Structure 1
């Protein structure tokens, strides 16, 4: 078979900028409605095939990892660096995943649960009752401190404060132009978005190198993720060098901080918008008694499907791309070698035959049926599925339940909150304004 998927020869400039500067789902939905799924367009100056078809995803995710390379590493380098597990492929990708994976397993999660709950309590205690605040600001502070303490292993208050400031400056430096136009990555005499980004990268790297030097000088490297990377050895006996460790830490920081904070904010938004859902979650938490352990919070079934429904609507992994190393057969079409395949959660999660009324927030759908790994992909799939998926789900449930145990929240404003572009990620426009109505003892 040599047929190419149907689609427009070129993505119109308006659609290109819509997909780059706003959430891409509406553009993809229009193209799928006109051409079918999969469809093929010229995107970022090269052909790209998009699909949200479960059978196409099955073919992609069950294929050998050697069938594909990563595409777009250059575009996301300002966030993930050049050697993060997110952007590499082949044998080094496999080895790096094996090094990092144990930090996100069940035993490690249980050890991190107390930290997650304590940080959530601490940050919410800083919000005054009756005073408006942006929920996204709070969830970002929560997830950032969790990552600093759990992933970086930092406990010193002064260093946590310095690292927090460095991370926030790095995030603020990620101007969307740096992703759409890599040619804009020029220092220009110390001015402009790229110069600011590079200063932020250097400042954070200096703090992390300081932490690494102290760990190496100590008697024990530690069992957290940083300690694991310092102790790790590749198949040839070589250790991870500092540049690799820094890229991994930055990549995991972004995925575990910004993306998780955004989903958390959406969860609180929908719990406030849907009083019946919010009341059911609150009762489920209350039934655990006055001092539930983090594992008990993470095991709550209705809270879990609320998180799953938010992840369906706002997946943290959006349309990850692969490059076919050789011609790849896909539902009767042939994707030529060197061309790009994008598994689109936006297309998949809006298929009405899988998700009736796909635009509606309805957690019960996950109680009514079980979705396969090719029908529900908030964390991607196959050999490149997000390493921190279990960590993120655990964190979502522990943080939400910890906050709801003590805080009654109300949404401010009657207008629906729009999904908007935030540099490399997507998030709620306006940050979701809320108020704490009362705080329980």
Structure 2
């Protein structure tokens, strides 16, 4: 973990008591509960170390601190200092290099070359794909047989990403590829992978690098095939045929890294955003969603109330920096912001634990108070893709007939990287199966304090 944080760093700021190594590991294991239980009640910020006076990991709180974190990109660098170390000089060495981790000119170049995949014509194609995918789902099929809506949303999002990003049909072979791509990042959560970084047959690191190489070879094959074809409407084909004003284009290893980044950032997060949104709809019996404005308000309120990504991706502090009058953060610190805490700030959102979609009708909060996709130059490039997918799919589900919620005990937990999942299946039925009685319970109620909608 030495590459992640340096516990020798000091900061003259109050934070939770305890051992910094233990506190940092507890935070990384479930950052939502650490932020909500140990930081939110006693430490308003704007800079809070995870352990008092220790500068290894800090959490930034409040609109001004969030603004500085997202706009001062020369000081707060995306983490690219060896956490996902791959051997150099291999075709697959760039599989963890992508616009979401780049800084400076490299970030600007990649972002410019990726922009065509979210242009209007591409989005129109994606919307058609989303509608076609929905027709094959259990939400559309009807019937009394209960199913897990979180698992169904994962299947929906996987199929959409295969078709929209790679131009592939969601058959058994391609679904296995999508699963393998998404598993690469999850494997890095095992500390054994990086404790002994030797490419041996028997080491976890060796097994992991072989997985990376196998995924890269499959992606490279698809990329080269797309280059040889006439341009198509999927994102991969667009990337293969895009050049900038200087004739620059993305190489095959660069495209493979970006595709991996898109799956890592957009697959499970989008599926869980739909899961939490539908839960709030079904868990609020008197709620009516009759038009696009109301659906937009419901989606935003669910993203605020139950954030799919409760903590930002970490950034490395490249120089000693003062944030909003707080004691200076030392160079080398690992810095986070917490959408979970910003979204539950009563100054920005009165009655923050109440599910109240009406707060979004005709209102635009500060972009530094509501940040499901980040903000500014670092706003998620795929935000419009995710938003369109969420709204299209939920609108079709509600048009087909609101499902019945059969599960009311729901636990909120970090399962994959930074993404919040329900701990157990959330069962629903589209048929005549009786709805579950009672309000929502479980740890999700630490965020969603009361069930009734208030407008």
TM-score with structure 2 setting the length: 0.80
The one of the two structures with greater contact order (alpha-carbon pairs below 8 A, sep at least 6) is 1
The alpha carbon displacement at 1:128 in A equals 5.9
- Mark the CA change 1:188 to 1:148 in structure 2 (over 3 Å): closer, same or farther: same
Of 94, 112, 136, 1:98 maps to 112
Is contact 2:180–2:215 with CA below 8 Å preserved after alignment?
no
Q: Distance in 1 between matches of 2:82 and 2:303?
A: 27
Residue aligned with 1:24, SS: helix
Give distance in 1, aligned partners of 2:31 and 2:148.
Answer: 21
1:403 and 1:374 mapped to 2: Cα distance? 31
Shift of 1:188: 7.9
Aligned partner of 1:294 in structure 2 is: none
Q: 1:72 to 1:9 in 2, by over 3 A?
A: farther
5+ long unaligned stretches in structure 1:
285-299
Higher strand share: 1
Q: Secondary structure in 1 aligned to 2:168?
A: coil
Mapped to 2, the partners of 1:367 and 1:240 lie a distance apart of 41
- In 2, the alpha carbon distance for the partners of 1:125 and 1:36 equals 43
| 1:269 and 2:262 correspond | no
Do the aligned partners of residues 169 and 62 (structure 1) sit closer, same or farther apart at CA in structure 2, a change above 3 Å counting? Answer: closer
1:99-145 deviation digits (Å, cap 9, x = unpaired) = 11231233322221111111012123686611121111111111111
Give the 3 Å change call, closer, same or farther, for CA 58–46 of structure 1 in structure 2: closer
* Residue 204 (structure 1) aligns with: 215
**What is the root-mean-square deviation in Å for CA atoms of aligned residues?**
3.1
**Comparing 261-270 and 189-198, the one that deviates more:** 189-198
Give the one of 400, 423, 426 matched to 2:420: 426
Q: Report if the CA contact (8 A) 2:297-2:361 is conserved.
A: yes
Aligned-residue offset at 1:384: 1.1
1:359 to partner: Cα distance:
2.6
Q: CA contact under 8 A between 2:78 and 2:314: conserved in structure 1?
A: yes
Within 5 Å, give how 1:17-416 maps onto structure 2.
17-37=25-45, 38-41=47-50, 47-63=56-72, 65-71=73-79, 74-75=82-83, 81-124=95-138, 129-155=143-169, 160-172=171-183, 175=186, 178=189, 183-184=194-195, 190=201, 194=205, 197-218=208-229, 220-233=230-243, 237-277=247-287, 280-281=288-289, 283-284=290-291, 300-312=292-304, 313-316=306-309, 318-333=311-326, 334-367=328-361, 369-415=363-409
| 8 Å Cα contact 2:239-2:255 kept in structure 1 | yes
Contact 1:104-1:391 at 8 Å conserved across structures: yes
Secondary structure of 2:42's aligned partner = helix
Distance 1:117 1:47 in 2: 46
Q: Structure 1, residues 185-219: CA drift from partner, whole Å, max 9, x if none?
A: 7578546765554454344333322222222222x
Contact map agreement 1:83 1:248 (CA 8 A) in 2? yes
Superposed displacement of residue 274, structure 1: 0.6
Gap change, CA 1:406 and 1:185, over 3 Å in 2:
farther
The separation in 2 between residues aligned to 1:75 and 1:100, in whole angstroms, is 24
Structure-2 change in CA distance of 1:174 and 1:390 (3 Å): closer
Higher share in helix: 1
Q: Deviations along 1:394-433, whole A, 9 cap, x unmatched? A: 1110011112211441112332x11112121221111312
Distance verdict in 2 for CA 1:213–1:59, change over 3 Å: closer
Q: Say if 2:11 and 2:330, in contact at 8 Å, map to a contact too.
A: no
Name the CA distance, whole Å, in 1 between partners of 2:344 and 2:15: 20
Contact 2:32–2:310 (CA<8 Å) still a contact in 1? Answer: no
Runs of 4+ in 1 over 6 A off after TM superposition: none
Give the 3-state SS of the residue equivalent to 1:108 in structure 2. Answer: helix
